[in-house]
Amino acid sequence: MPRPLAAQCVLALVLLAALRAQPAPAMNPPLQWKELPALPDREGFAGSYAGVSGNALLVAGGANFPDKRPWEGGTKIWYDRVFALAPDATAWREAGRLPEAGGYGVSVNTPEGFVLIGGGDAARHFDEVWLVRWDGTTAAFTAWPRLPKPLAMAAGALVGRVIYVAGGLERPDATTAQDAFFALDLDRLSAGWRTLPTWPGAERFLAIAGAHDEAFFLFSGARLLAAGPGKTSRTWLRDAYRYTPAAGWKRIADLPRVAVAAPSPAPLVDGRLLVLGGDDGAQVALAPTAHQGFPRDTLAYRPTDDTWSRPGDVPFSLVTTTLTTWRGQIVVPGGEARPGVRSPRVWSAPIAQHPAKK
């Protein structure tokens, strides 16, 4: 006798839930991390720009506390140095200077070159956008259309021939984050940046961007709220969104945990976007000297079935840093190892064995 319709519906829901609960297949083989030559600075930097030009890996700008930690009264110093690592080189070399010292902007690799977007320093945040090209000796900068407003600590990625930038802070003393969403078509540079509808969630900064199959992704981040004169508080976010020009924004599965300021943009490996570590906020109430470092687990999002998995750990604890790809490798060049503490170590993992499946 056929089952009643209600029973069939319940059975179908149970089967669907069981299928979604199945763990995603593991990455095979797992990512194999190694160290590239360390950046030529004792402290290292957080917020550096990073990208590729002329077949070289470039890292520029950023900030650190070279003399004392912030809780000891140390002063944050901003840098304009550009470093280049040529293929098979055993050390970095000086490759010029940024137009202005700064960091915490968006870095995007394009066929035209490495693009630096926004960022800032202690006095102001930038709306400038620069195309960087390295000729084997020096990095040259060409001004591109400015952002509609200054932004630092935004998230951005290249989708096809369009650069997207989302969120961020407009000023160093901002008490709210931005819900800005801008797009620059590389084939229509003269048209400048377009302002697009925002995602259906809270404004945010220090989020992670991603790109897959003509879609832009926005993961996690923090919301900034005023908490009295000259003070702010943060709300930690683990929601996530997908954007396509045809369908607009859609909320997708939440992250398993908060992952603020993880290396961005998220790399695509085995058809999954990887969020490498990030700050989960679990130690935010601790004194800086008691901080044990940031999470090292990897969160992997699979767009084909809107699921998350945890395929393994990374050997580093680094946030507020750019992620780039170079010669078939994921590269994470330094970053913040603990609050107020930077790292000059540069980590890489080959992805040639991991085709980008749809």
Tokens representing residue 147 in the block: 């952002």
206 vs 320: CA distance, rounded Å = 7
Q: How far, rounded to the nearest angstrom, does the alpha carbon of residue 334 sit from its chain's CA centroid?
A: 13
**Cα of 51 vs its chain's centroid, Å:** 13
| Whole-number CA gyration radius for the chain | 21
Secondary structure (DSSP) of 271-340: TEEEEE--B-STTTTS-GGG------EEEEEETTTTEEEEEEE-S---BS-B-EEETTEEEEEEEEEETT
Distance of CA 23 to the CA centre of its chain: 25
CA distances from 85 to 46, 60, 118, 138, 329 (A): 18, 12, 24, 12, 14
Rounded distance between C-alpha atoms, residue 177 and residue 222, angstroms: 8
**Element counts in the chain: helices (H) and strands (E):** 1, 28
Spatial contact of 301 and 275, defined as CB atoms under 8 Å apart: yes
Instruction: Extract the tokens encoding 127.
Output: 């709306």
> 30 pairs with which residues across the strands?
none
Of 177, 182, 150, 152, which is closest to residue 166 (Cα–Cα)?
Answer: 182
| Residue 3: predicted pLDDT | 46
pLDDT at residue 298, as a whole number: 97
C-beta separation of 73 from 102 below 8 A: no
Looking at residue 200, the DSSP 8-state letter turns out to be S
pTM for this structure? 0.90
Which pLDDT belongs to residue 1?
44
Tokens of 213: 């199959």
What is the rounded CA–CA span in Å between residue 58 and residue 53? 7
Beta strands in 129-269 (DSSP E): 129-134, 139-144, 155-159, 162-166, 181-185, 194-195, 208-212, 215-219, 222-226, 232-236, 240-244, 248-252, 268-269
Contacts of 197 (CB under 8 A, 6+ apart): 181, 248, 249
C-alpha distances out from residue 70 to 174, 233, 278, 339, Å: 20, 18, 21, 9
Point out the residues of the chain with pLDDT beneath 70: 1-29, 352-358
Would you state the pLDDT for residue 11? 45
Paired residues of 139 in beta bridges: 134
Q: What gap in Å lies between CA 340 and CA 77, rounded to an integer?
A: 12
Delimit the domains of the chain by residue range.
28-350
Give the pLDDT confidence score for residue 227 in this predicted structure. 84
User: Would you give the DSSP letter of residue 267?
Assistant: P
Contact 273/210 with Cβ under 8 angstroms? Answer: yes
Q: What is the DSSP string of 12-66?
A: HHHHHHHHHHSPPPPPSSPP--EEEPPPSSSS--BS-EEEEETTEEEEE--EE-S
Element (H, E) at 348: strand 341-350
Pick the CATH number of 28-350 from 3.40.640.10, 2.120.10.80, 3.40.50.1370, 3.40.50.2300: 2.120.10.80
Enumerate residues 6+ apart whose C-beta is below 8 A from 15.
Answer: none
